[in-house]
């Protein structure tokens, strides 16, 4: 596997992770106000997750971002045990992440069949 990640993975992956970071940050006050989650718990889980989600896209040029993003989705799903209101967000973005990877792989395969090596 090469160090560089193709353009499709970079676009899909970065988009999913940045939007996920925004939604995680927006979920913090919702968890506090609507679900009676303590402010300390919500911020101590939500803020680091959002920061990590914003940092991972920087790794697409080095080739490790797909693995880090996949591990991040697992961590976010595990975090829902401590912060249950985030379950829908975790499932939605995990589906977008892994679905995006599948779509890009399929598009690359079709492009290679039609136009030769990518």
How does pLDDT run across 55-99, given as a tens digit for each residue?
A: 999 999 898 999 999 999 999 999 999 888 889 999 999 999 999
Q: What's residue 118's pLDDT?
A: 56
22 domain-assigned: yes
36 domain-assigned: yes
How does pLDDT run across 8-52, given as a tens digit for each residue?
A: 999 999 999 999 999 999 999 999 999 999 999 999 999 999 999
C-beta of residue 63 within 8 angstroms of C-beta of residue 23: no
Q: What pTM was estimated for this model as a whole? A: 0.91
Domain count, the chain: 1
Cα separation, 54 vs 38, in Å, equals 24
1 domain-assigned: no
Q: Does the CA dihedral 27-89-81-65 come out positive or negative? A: negative
2 domain-assigned: no
14 domain-assigned: yes
| Residue 16 structural domain | 7-115
| Whether residue 6 has pLDDT greater than 60 | yes
Q: Does the CA dihedral 35-37-43-45 come out positive or negative? A: negative
* Contact partners, residue 53, CB within 8 Å, separation at least 6: 17, 18, 20, 21, 24, 72
């Amino acid at each position: 596997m090469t160090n560089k990640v193709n353009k499709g993975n970079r676009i899909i992956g970065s988009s999913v992770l940045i939007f996920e970071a925004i939604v995680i940050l927006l979920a913090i006050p919702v968890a506090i106000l609507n679900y009676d989650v303590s402010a300390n718990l919500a911020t101590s889980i939500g803020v680091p997750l959002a920061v990590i989600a914003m940092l991972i896209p920087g790794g697409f040029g080095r080739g490790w971002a797909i693995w880090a993003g996949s591990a991040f989705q697992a961590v976010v799903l595990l975090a829902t045990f401590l912060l249950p209101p985030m379950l829908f967000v975790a499932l939605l973005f995990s589906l977008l992440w892994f679905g995006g990877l599948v779509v890009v792989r399929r598009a690359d395969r079709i492009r290679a069949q039609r136009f030769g090596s990518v």
